[in-house]
Structure 1
């Protein structure tokens, strides 16, 4: 590929990734409006988010596996078609059941984007892999920040159904994928469909347990995971090869990334709640407080990419850990301060995100043989989504309680804000332990 062709492909994958990530964050803002439109309880309307997350996580794994066999532009065409179809269906949805169905179809397509976009740099940008992954991570950070702002504006000025219409625009990207992406042939191999179905059911049950805390889902998940393990050991061509997790750099990065993303998503979940309860901000001002941090993360992605190429992926991950620890400690300390102070501190936390994603994605892609990068990145994305759901569930439960003890002696927190301060201290401690594990595991493996 020439430099001109690479720039076109990079622009294209970042454009569709922007819509994919925005689609998730926009609808979180619109959930109260959807509940009002159909007279729903919180548990009912939560399926707009829950159903999307479950299918999104499973799809990321499935598309990753398929990418080891089928051409990327073929898979992206299928995914974007699902994404656009679900968006159009949602725009015209006459009832809530069709809205949930539309979100599920959207997720079945949008998951192809986040799964395959991380494979593109490893396949087409070998010499600039770190830089390109930095740009991709910046795009995700930007979309996460701008999504709530756009979602709140569109839902407020027009109607929440127009959020579906925004996502439908991805359909126009399909012809450009066929024009600009390199031609690839189908590779040898086949997918263990039965094994794929078992792991999909296991993950779906686990995600439903995390989001709904129904123990029957947990028992079902264990059962399906057991069946999947038996299928994996007995099949000549399993969906996921067991020896994949014997790869120490791969296993270490998956575990460390899981814990790090869990703390990051926990922080992102707490911020709107904290700004609403402690600082008495409405939705618009919450979005405006967080927006500068998202913009800073978007601009810092290129720096993370360059450092990955110059210093190595592990050093970039260490930088992410350091930024996370500093940011969490400062948030714990300055809770109760004016919103502009919180907005400045949040920048430190948010700019850790592109460093973390660029470093871990590069480590995954360099630790696996070329024919296993797809499934490796699929597992990486699956664990990321699961960690976000787990982090949100744990922190949500923690914030239900009040604390009379303030763990941070320098904190300004009072009343219920003390619990927010303590949770941020907990995130900082978990980050320290995670960094120590990451360092020890890589040093031990040489």
Structure 2
């Protein structure tokens, strides 16, 4: 049986092609989420749906995707990557074809759920592969992968707008199905691994899934009664974690203070990055009355800056250490939010330039944060440890988006809290960015004051 150490020494026939294939699949996986944001109004019109009904196209996807990322992370500790990737890409392609041919809304929902079951494999694999297969260049590879995620988040709405505008929203499913073409390259370049026989704690996995799913549903619907289910399954899941022989999530992960601090700090920081990607399109539409294509063009420089800086930032992680890069990136992100908060309401091209500052921090925060966690985890627990990291990041995105959505519905101030910001309709957006700047500061203080640098012998 292969040990975890042996996996770092596995022969990779073509490392560059393997990395390219992983990045290609990850890009389409991330874009699949952001492209459909653009198509929501068209889907609602096609099937005569209310906003609350059509919102499940995104809610259902995020719900399955976030839980799936944790499940795949857990499985990656014992199941060969080739098996996981083959299963994930095949299921995703099947969901995409069903969505393209969907005769009614129920088939669209089913297609999105199937897509999420398969697609959630990619973020789990993408953050574990650098640790397992590129240990000497881990920071650099994590930087490249994080930059691809950032770029895909920015380019997704543009591509979605073009496809839905010139064709129809059904072709978004067909575009996503292109991921399957990378499967032969991945299978050829991934090293051979053994699948270790291990029992999965299905009850523990189900309790975690229900806890996360009801949390997202409760936030999305604003129904406090649902949180009773969340609380009960959360309690049972915690008891299960401490009593099961082989629990779905090992409880000793949470006995590591550094691990808890790193996960919470990342949760807060990623929430702010998701808020940026969620709020900016709404702001550009409401304040400047821009079209979908114009919104994409305004955000494009920021997406490109994230793509370009990712590799350099990843190399910096290898050179000076992930802790220093993480603190630096949080400081830059906080500065970026202040800049955007201060310039909302000015001309769109100024806003476009200012968005570069916070958006370029996306790959820096994710790459350095993932590297910090990799240093804290034993090789046998990399999968589940990174799975929890991915799960918390997706939940943070859903939670922050819901909070901002409610804030935008309830408040419409004409005067911003930021004294140098522009007054008027843009004030509420300035306040949102200013408030989340405070959340970045909280993340920075939490990490700087409580996280302890592990000793070389740890």
Would the TM-score normalized by the shorter structure come out above 0.5? yes
User: 2:414·2:426 contact (CA, 8 Å) conserved in 1?
Assistant: no
2:417 maps to which of 401, 404, 407? 407
User: 1:69·1:190 contact (CA, 8 Å) conserved in 2?
Assistant: no
Shift of residue 418, structure 1, vs aligned partner: 1.4
SS in 2 for 1:347: helix
Shift of residue 445, structure 1, vs aligned partner: 7.2
Match of 1:74? 83
Match of 1:426? 435
Indicate whether 1:152 and 2:177 are aligned. Answer: no
Match of 2:44? 35
**Deviation readout 1:132-169 (Å, 9 max, x if unpaired):** 00110111111111111111001010110001001111
User: 1:20·1:110 contact (CA, 8 Å) conserved in 2?
Assistant: yes
What is the alpha-carbon distance in structure 1 between the residues aligned to residue 454 and residue 325 of structure 2? 19
Match of 2:35? 26
Match of 1:118? 127
Indicate whether 1:294 and 2:303 are aligned. Answer: yes
1:193 maps to which of 198, 202, 212? 202
Shift of residue 4, structure 1, vs aligned partner: 6.0
What is the alpha-carbon distance in structure 2 between the residues aligned to residue 114 and residue 341 of structure 1? 33
User: 1:333·1:413 contact (CA, 8 Å) conserved in 2?
Assistant: no
**Deviation readout 1:238-276 (Å, 9 max, x if unpaired):** 111111111122211100000001111112111111111
Shift of residue 19, structure 1, vs aligned partner: 0.9
Shift of residue 176, structure 1, vs aligned partner: 2.1
Please list every run of 5 or more consecutive structure 1 residues that lacks an aligned counterpart in the other structure: none
Shift of residue 32, structure 1, vs aligned partner: 0.6
Match of 2:280? 271
What is the alpha-carbon distance in structure 1 between the residues aligned to residue 85 and residue 138 of structure 2? 20
Match of 1:397? 406
User: 2:13·2:189 contact (CA, 8 Å) conserved in 1?
Assistant: no
Shift of residue 317, structure 1, vs aligned partner: 1.0
Shift of residue 444, structure 1, vs aligned partner: 8.2
**Deviation readout 1:201-226 (Å, 9 max, x if unpaired):** 11111111121111232111111111
1:13 maps to which of 22, 37, 56? 22
Match of 1:360? 369
Shift of residue 406, structure 1, vs aligned partner: 2.7
Match of 1:102? 111
Match of 1:133? 142
Indicate whether 1:388 and 2:401 are aligned. Answer: no
What is the alpha-carbon distance in structure 2 between the residues aligned to residue 22 and residue 422 of structure 1? 28
SS in 1 for 2:193: coil
What is the alpha-carbon distance in structure 1 between the residues aligned to residue 36 and residue 432 of structure 2? 26
Instruction: Specify whether residues 103 and 143 from structure 1 end up closer, same or farther in structure 2 by C-alpha distance, changes over 3 A only.
Output: same
Instruction: Specify whether residues 185 and 443 from structure 1 end up closer, same or farther in structure 2 by C-alpha distance, changes over 3 A only.
Output: closer
What is the alpha-carbon distance in structure 1 between the residues aligned to residue 96 and residue 163 of structure 2? 15
SS in 2 for 1:391: helix
Instruction: Specify whether residues 110 and 444 from structure 1 end up closer, same or farther in structure 2 by C-alpha distance, changes over 3 A only.
Output: closer
Count of aligned residue pairs for this structure pair:
445
Shift of residue 71, structure 1, vs aligned partner: 0.5
What is the alpha-carbon distance in structure 2 between the residues aligned to residue 115 and residue 198 of structure 1? 20
What is the alpha-carbon distance in structure 1 between the residues aligned to residue 178 and residue 342 of structure 2? 43
Shift of residue 195, structure 1, vs aligned partner: 1.1
Match of 2:3? none
What is the alpha-carbon distance in structure 2 between the residues aligned to residue 409 and residue 102 of structure 1? 48
Indicate whether 1:372 and 2:381 are aligned. Answer: yes
Task: Give the TM-score of the pair, scaled to structure 1.
Answer: 0.97
Kindly report the root-mean-square deviation, in angstroms, between the aligned alpha carbons of the 2 structures. Answer: 1.4
Match of 1:235? 244
- Structure 1 segment 167-178 matched on structure 2, within 5 A: 167-178=176-187
User: 2:151·2:306 contact (CA, 8 Å) conserved in 1?
Assistant: yes
SS in 2 for 1:127: helix
Shift of residue 413, structure 1, vs aligned partner: 2.7
What is the alpha-carbon distance in structure 2 between the residues aligned to residue 50 and residue 429 of structure 1? 27
SS in 2 for 1:32: helix
Instruction: Specify whether residues 231 and 176 from structure 1 end up closer, same or farther in structure 2 by C-alpha distance, changes over 3 A only.
Output: same
Please list every run of 5 or more consecutive structure 2 residues that lacks an aligned counterpart in the other structure: 1-9
Shift of residue 189, structure 1, vs aligned partner: 2.8
What is the alpha-carbon distance in structure 2 between the residues aligned to residue 293 and residue 444 of structure 1? 32
Moved over 3 A (4+): 1-4, 443-446
SS in 1 for 2:136: coil
User: 2:415·2:423 contact (CA, 8 Å) conserved in 1?
Assistant: no
